Amino acid sequence: MSGVLRVVVGGHTNTGKTSLLRTLTRDERFGEVSDEPATTRRVEGIQLLLSDGEPVVVLLDTPGLEDPDGVLDALDAFAGTERFNAPERVRSFLESSEAATHYEQEAKVLRQMLEGDAAIYVIDCREPVLGKYREELTILTHCAIPVLPVLNFVASPASREAEWREQLARLNLHAVVAFDTVVFDEAGERRLYEKLRTLLDAFDESLQRLIEDRRQQGEWLRRAAAEYLAELLIDTAGCLRVIPADLEPAKMREMILRNQDAVRQREQRTVDGLLRLFRFSRRHYEHEQLPLVNGSWGMDLFNPDALKHYGVRMGGGAAAGAAAGATLDAATLGATLGVGTVTGTAIGALLGTSIPLRQRIWGRLHGLSEWRVSDETLRLLMLRQMTLIRALLQRGHAAQVPLATGDSAEARWAREPLPAPVREARLKPRWSRLNPELFDPARGDRQVAVQRLAEEILKTLAVDAGAGTADPARAAALLKR
């Protein structure tokens, strides 16, 4: 382990030391987190690895300091000739019977401090500034290693951050970091490592590598999440079911319900993938069934966007006549199946159109109808998954409350057209994995569309340099592209 930075994480009981380590390591299973005091009773260590697997930091979780006043008195008793050698006084104290009995928990912390390179002192900044915390910091400074105070729970309305900063400055501790272990801040994590760099010249290079590696991981996470959502939207937009004209109502109902379930399952796979990506388990997300939009999941073949995509001009002539004659709704489950009468004017639409559209119109002329997911449902999928992605980007691994989907998506829908790659996927059933009999994984144009859509999604997840948080106000901007 030579060359690996050893950082001791200490502090008073129940200030969030284990929570900090969970968030820094992206490991929700590390240690035990509880509102009960003195949850951690032993020293536990965990490594921070670079993406290539190289360890650069060992973080040591220690028990809470419970009786700092008594420990200070014990240390004073060992002053003697070691008055100006504080680390030796600590060693003398650790060899005493008191360290093994009355101050067992504090002794565990001090042993790690003497062997460590630096310490992080975690403060619950919701707590008032009390004398016991000043005494704890005094004890830690006896070990002669740099101590970096970390203010936890700064996002809480009860935060006393300003009071704590003032008090720490009086103790000559001016390198302080605010880092909430529940509301994750990528920039806050970077500041924590930057402050450690200023205190530890010998580990400057390794900490800089860790900072850069974390930055790259953040970019990769955002891109991977955007691609997950893009895949979902392309698959769902391209989902197509052909319905025979003579299908019995009961069979039609069964078919539509089965199709709806397929879309729900496809969204659930995206949710599961995003949770795995960010290293969270299912217990972090309260997933509800995808609600229908006014009961409608369908889109007619002669949607104006579809005709426009294939170069069929609206407003007059055969194409307009075909669209006007083929947009009646079926009375089955509110699904727009496009089973209206197609008149002879539709034949004119066959001229000058692409082969896929000719094939589809030919099917319509022979009594076939289509089932597709509605634009409204696609918007809901988009907004709901964007909400989830933003929440995961800002969620610490110590969070205990499950994620919710946020405010009602219906209230935030934009009415502008869906992104161009999604509209294009409407007309490319071979792009959708929900059409297993048609899906062609070798199609390069599908991957191009996924990447185009992912780039648009990334724009809504873009962060200001060093901000580390997404702007929720841009959630619907994607719908305007």
State the DSSP string of 228-281.
HHHHHHHHHHT--EEE-TT--HHHHHHHHHHHHHHHHHHHHHHHHHHHHHTT--
The answer to whether 267 touches 239, Cβ cutoff 8 Å, is: no
Residue 350 CA, chain-centre distance (Å), reads: 47
Give tens-digit pLDDT for 428-460: 999 999 999 889 888 899 999 999 999 999 988
Considering only CA atoms, which of 86, 24, 101 is closest in space to residue 61?
24
Q: How many angstroms from the chain centroid is the CA of residue 271? A: 11
Nearest to 427 by CA among 347, 310, 313, 291: 310
Residue 302, pLDDT > 70, answer: no
What SS3 state is found at 395? strand
Q: What is the Cα–Cα distance from 122 to 76, expressed in whole angstroms?
A: 25
Write down the pLDDT at residue 411: 37
For 344, the token pair is 């002879």
Residue pLDDT, tens place only, 387-438: 888 888 887 765 666 665 544 433 334 556 789 999 999 889 999 999 998 8
Q: What are the φ and ψ backbone dihedral angles of 119, each rounded to 5 degrees?
A: -135, 145
Burial readout 415-443 (b: 16 or more C-beta within 10 A, e: otherwise) = eeebbebbbbbbbbbbbbbbbeeebeeee
| Among 316, 314, 331, CA closest to 256 | 331
How far apart CA 139 and CA 205 sit, in angstroms, is: 29
The CA distance from 280 to 296, in Å, is 33
- Alpha carbons 161 and 170: distance in angstroms, whole number: 14
d(CA 81, CA 297): 83
Residue type, 352: G
Percent of the chain with pLDDT over 90: 28
- Name 5's bridge partners: 57
**Which residues are within 8 A (CB) of 437 and not within 5 positions of it... i.e. 6 or more apart?**
none
| 225-251 b/e (C-beta count within 10 Å ≥ 16 → b) | bbbbbbbbbbbbbbbbbebeeeeeeee
Q: pLDDT tens-digit profile of 456-472?
A: 999 888 743 333 443 43
CA separation for the pair 66, 477 (Å, rounded): 51
Distance of CA 135 to the CA centre of its chain: 38
Where is mean pLDDT largest: 183-197, 211-225, 297-311?
Answer: 211-225
> For residue range 30-85, what is the model confidence (pLDDT) as tens digits?
755 444 444 445 678 888 999 999 999 999 988 888 788 888 888 888 766 555 68
Domains located in the chain, CATH noted: 5-182 (3.40.50.300), 220-480 (no CATH)
Helical (H) or strand (E) element with 150: strand 147-152
Question: In 3-state terms, what secondary structure has residue 55?
Answer: strand
- Tell me the C-alpha distance between 415 and 402, whole Å: 30
The model scores a pTM over 0.85: no
Q: With a cut of 60, say whether residue 201 has pLDDT above it.
A: yes
**Which value, in Å, is the radius of gyration of the alpha carbons in the chain?**
30
- Summary mean pLDDT of the chain: 74
Backbone angles phi, psi at 379, to 5 degrees: -60, -40
At residue 203, does pLDDT exceed 90? yes
Cα(134)–Cα(155) distance, integer angstroms: 23
- Largest separation between any pair of C-alpha atoms in the chain: 108
CA 67, CA 73: separation in Å to the nearest integer? Answer: 10
CB-hemisphere CA count at 13 Å for 225? Answer: 29
Q: What are the residues facing 118 on neighbouring strands?
A: 7
Q: How many CB atoms lie within 10 A of CB 401?
A: 9
Query: Which secondary-structure segment (H or E) carries 392?
Result: helix 375-393
121-134: pLDDT as tens digits: 999 999 998 888 88
Split at pLDDT 50, 70, 90, the class of 25 is confident
Helical pair 68-77 and 86-94, crossing angle rounded to 10 deg: 100
Sign of CA dihedral 214, 24, 12, 143: negative
Residues 377/293, Cβ–Cβ less than 8 Å:
yes
Say how many CA atoms lie within 13 Å of 287 toward its Cβ.
20
Rounded to 5 degrees, what are φ and ψ at 185?
-125, 110
Position 191 scores a pLDDT of: 92
